[in-house]
Amino acid sequence: MVPPSTPSSRRATRVVRYAVLAASIACGTERPLAPSLVTDPAISAVQPLAFTASVDMRARSVRVVAPTAGSLRASVGGRDDGAVALSLLGGDAVRILASDVRITPAAPGTTRLRVRFDIVVESRLPGIRLVAPTWPTPPVARIVLFPLRVRAPGSAGTVTGGDGNVVTVTQPGFGQVFASDDFDGDGSPGSGAPWNFLTDAPCRDDVLTTCFRWKAVSTEIAPLGRSPRATIGFEMDATVQAFSAQLIVAADLAPAGTPTAAQWRRASGL
């Protein structure tokens, strides 16, 4: 277990028992979160819990793949005082459903593009409520989602000819992608700005920090329930043909009574 770097984070780790505990989470500015060549042990620690949203600009499609790692969570009810369990949620706890990709100019007079799509967070846990996390500490008391890393894999342009009369040119797919202000927190003015979820280090615009924009998903998600639909977005160079974003869901787990037979069947895929 890697201890967090602040007193509050260290106190938080004493109230839960993780199989593995991530050291840190990152935060991002309006500058590109790429280049993703920058490595940080804190980011690497939580990457196994990141959902990967792959966006194809040509097909206007998005596909979300769950992480292979399980959630870093303590057993519910493990504390004498009945406090909620601390969580970074993996694919065993939640699903992220994505739909309705929209591509528009980022702003008038610019060649940059903005892609938006809707997400819903679905609980896979019978008898467990998802509530606002206490670690990492969010800016507001809401379940949050934030982009850990965003990358656009570079692709070279191609020129192909058929019978000699038709030539097909594919433009290179290089460019930068970063989280847009569609990551607007809880929707209040100024909300969603870069936030450092673990340390006391300030989020600065002039350096690459471990700060990320964020989206408030819901106050609570019922057992096997879903969050309201939320819109997230990314801004990019017009040359980008595809990109992927690693998304982290942070929430605590709280007991919610005995699940019904129907809930268990749904959780088991029956």
For 21-71, how does the pLDDT look when each residue is reduced to its tens digit (9 = 90+)?
222 223 333 333 333 344 566 777 788 899 999 999 999 999 999 998 888
By residue range, what is the domain housing residue 66? 27-262
Q: Are 159 and 168 in contact (CB under 8 A)?
A: yes
What pTM, to 2 d.p., does this model score? 0.73
Kindly tell me the sign of the dihedral angle through the C-alpha atoms of 23, 25, 31, 34.
positive
232 in any annotated domain: yes
User: Which H/E stretch holds residue 148?
Assistant: strand 143-151
Does residue 83 fall inside a structural domain?
yes
Task: Note whether residue 14 is domain-resident.
Answer: no
Is residue 7, in this structure, part of any structural domain at all? no
Query: What is the number of domains present in the chain?
Result: 1
Among the ranges given (90-99, 144-153, 216-225, 261-270), the one the predictor scored with the smallest mean pLDDT: 261-270
